[in-house]
Amino acid sequence: MELGKLEVYQISLKLSEEIWNIYSILPADLNFNIGSQVLRSIDSIGANVAEGFGRFHYRDSIKFYYNARGSLWESKHWVYLLNKRELIENEKYEKIVIDMEMLGKKLNGFIKSIKEKSNDK
């Protein structure tokens, strides 16, 4: 299987693009604090999935998938603050939250399947 065909990776890239679009229109002073934080955390999800995918052993890869899940929760925090501080519209916020919730469920299922594979070895 290819990395680009993994659903969790595809969803993480979609979220990265959505956050980039928000980041790119934030005022410059906000890009250096909350903007860069949310961008780094959201990009970290896909980066950790990619790194885990590139590992040889299932057990080694699982820790990167857990890191991806942690980055997802951090991203939820930053997106919540963007909305609370009225830096993104409610409609956009709600769409991103739905996408993040879906990614969380998919990521949990993916981790579970990898764990099952690691137990087979």
Evaluate if residue 119 carries a pLDDT over 90.
no
Rounded Cα gap, residues 79 and 120, in angstroms: 38
Domain positions in the chain are: 3-120
Burial degree of 29 (CB within 10 A; 0-12, 13-18, 19+): exposed
CATH number of 3-120: 1.20.1440.60
More reliable by pLDDT, 121 or 97: 97
Q: Tokens 């999935």 identify what position?
A: 49
Residue type, 23: Y
Look up the pTM and report it. Answer: 0.93
Q: Which residues of 67-83 are buried (b: 16+ CB within 10 A; e: fewer)?
A: bbbebbebbbebbeebb
Place of tokens 């998919």: 106
Dist CA 84 CA 31 (whole Å):
16
- The tens digit of pLDDT for each residue in 41-88 reads 999 999 999 999 999 888 889 999 999 999 999 999 999 999 999 999
